[in-house]
Amino acid sequence: MSDLAFSIESSARAGASPMSVRRVLALAWPVMVSMVSYSLMSAADAIFVGRLGTAPLAAIGLAVTTTWLFLAMPMGLMRGLRVAAAQATGAGRVKDAESLGWQSLWLAGGVGVLVAVASLVGVRVFLLLGATPQVAALAQAYFGIRALAAPIALVEMGLTSWFEGRGDTVTPMRANVASNILWIALDAVLVNGFGPVPALGIAGAAWAGVIALGVAAIWLLIAAWPTLRATRFWPDRRLLAESSRLGLPIGVQRTLDIVAWTVLTGVLAGISDAQLAAHVVAIRVLMTSFLPGMAIAEATAVLVGQSVGARRPDDAVMAWKSGVKAAMALMAAGGLTFILFPDLLLAPFHVAADVAPIARNLLAIAAAFQLLDAIATVTYFSLDGAGDTRFTLKASIVLSWGVKLPIGVLLARTAGLGAVGAWLGLTAELVLLLVILVGRWQSRRWYVATPASGQAVA
């Protein structure tokens, strides 16, 4: 049993809840460090490629969005596995929790190969999204490399989910921070060239990612091996079915949400390279606030999952409240920085004169919705952690496709607001999503629906 599960059990005997802000942060800080390092790496990608010009900067934004589109469903399955591992740990099903390590590898290998094959698309995909021929060719150069290496990325994601679900966030942190530092170093060498190494441009950024993710995957495999070698190697139908039942709705939601976001990105690509480049840069800056907030949401989801597995819904509620407080404080600080120092934040990207004012406006919008985003993200992940994944799927589909996409397209293209219009559509979605998710959480239907199994249904 993990230290976290033991803490929950001890707290139950003592009649007190361990789910304070301190407890959330104790689990969240390694995830936060990982995500901050990821945001720095992502910014480095854009910084090094951005020095090549506006077209490469726009291309990497389009290519990264498309890469995440292809990985969205597998990522949902991995998140489902994390929920399964958390609930098994909370319920004291140690063998199941350990066996899910092998299941993460079976899922990563099988689904990763499918993604790699399905991703053999040409430059026409980016042309269909509205990119100029130059941007489309550059985007394909990046996407083709990253997508073919999907099995490597998914092994890293799967093992990270397994470790985190069992309450160990430190091991993935070490692997991911080392990987991201290597990624940044390789960006510096491969994008612009160094000594005998030729400049590979945007393709160099893609190869940097593949190599770095491979190092992280090997690191996690080595760390997991003492447990894996004592556990049954073969696929377990029951555990795979449990993970898939929890993860498929998450995967569908992530896929449809990224499709909607990709359409918006395509709309911006069709308007101008400057609009798309400003969008890319603003996203990279926003990640410095959003990813640490997401780290708190991830940790809260693990605590909620373990509490539900231990049949202690009051602990799950306390975890959610603590997570919301921590995320609000963190993301409010980020929003304040966006308002006070926009030019300082944009300076490393060497944005062109026509890109900078658009990016500043996007950062102002981001600052405005930081607190709302903090609450919505923690609540969303908490519902997923409780197993209420079908509800979050329905809510996301309705709002992403019924609010964000139509409003964003209308304001961006028809009203002529460009990237600002797209981000206003995102803001409208966020406000409504917050109301719906908090209402669901307060109703406790995520637990009461099926108290015998600890899994909620919509």
Q: DSSP secondary structure string, 256-281? A: HHHHHHHHHHHHHHHH-HHHHHHHHH
Q: How far apart are the first and last CA of the chain?
A: 30
Burial 332-360 (b: 16+ CB within 10 A, else e): bebbebbeeebeebbeebebeeebbebbb
* The two three-digit tokens of residue 97, written as one number: 């929790």
> pLDDT tens digits, residue range 180-207?
999 999 999 999 888 888 889 899 999 9
- The pLDDT of residue 18 is 60
* The two three-digit tokens of residue 391, written as one number: 């509800």
240: CB partners within 8 A, 6+ apart: 103, 106, 107
- The pLDDT of residue 291 is 82
> pLDDT tens digits, residue range 150-169?
899 999 999 999 999 998 99
- What residues in the chain have per-residue pLDDT under 50? 1-17, 449-458
Find residue 194's DSSP bridge partners.
Answer: 197
- The pLDDT of residue 192 is 86
Dihedral over alpha carbons 289, 71, 207, 263 (to 10 degrees): -70
303: CB partners within 8 A, 6+ apart: 4, 19, 23, 24, 27, 315, 316, 319, 323, 385
CA dihedral for 395, 397, 400, 406, sign (positive or negative):
negative
Rounded to an integer, what distance in angstroms lies between the CA atom of residue 262 and that of residue 167?
A: 33
Rounded to an integer, what distance in angstroms lies between the CA atom of residue 453 and that of residue 49?
A: 49
Rounded to an integer, what distance in angstroms lies between the CA atom of residue 100 and that of residue 158?
A: 10
345: CB partners within 8 A, 6+ apart: 285, 288, 337, 338, 363
Rounded to an integer, what distance in angstroms lies between the CA atom of residue 180 and that of residue 206?
A: 13
202: CB partners within 8 A, 6+ apart: 49, 52, 56, 59, 60, 63, 138, 141, 142, 191
Rounded to an integer, what distance in angstroms lies between the CA atom of residue 25 and that of residue 295?
A: 9
Rounded to an integer, what distance in angstroms lies between the CA atom of residue 11 and that of residue 315?
A: 10
